Amino acid sequence: MLDAIKSFFNEFTGEAEAEERPIVDKQLAAAALMVQVMAADGVVRPEEEAKLRTVLAESYNLSAEDADTLAQQASAAQGSAIDLYGFTSVLKRNMSEDERLSMVEDLWEMVFADGKLHEFEDNVVWRVAELLGVHSRNRMELKQRVLARQG
């Protein structure tokens, strides 16, 4: 009876038993969020996929092959995710403030990979930044930095 109540409470609050939670490392969590941003406008373009692999390789010092593997794993993880919290909670626990800022900058790189800003992409970055504890001012500064780099 007590187990049933505990299970109900965990389901109600969205908390799962530790052993039921999937293990996700911070690289995979970050990559899955980048995939989420890419897909937010409903169309994933080849230039976005190429940018994802470039950002992953540069951000995590990966070979092209390893970046490709991580991108594939991230697509699968993102496709089975029900929300952003599963990924952002991993990142918030395992990243410093500077790393979280860098993560948001990487998300802006993904937003502008196709040369367009879609409102859904902007919304995903806003929600992820909030969940990561990145202030709005910082989020907007990072957006401007990425735009400046792109000319």
Say how far apart CA 110 and CA 39 lie, in whole Å. 10
| Helices and strands in the chain, H and E counts | 8, 0
Q: What is the pLDDT of residue 56?
A: 96
Looking at the domain 31-150, which fold is it? TerB-like (1.10.3680)
> Is residue 142 a contact partner of residue 110, using CB atoms and an 8 Å limit?
no
Q: To the nearest whole percent, how much of the chain has pLDDT over 70? A: 84
CB-based contact 51:109 (threshold 8 Å): yes
- Residue range 37-55: mean pLDDT, rounded: 94
Domain spans of the chain, in order of start: 31-150
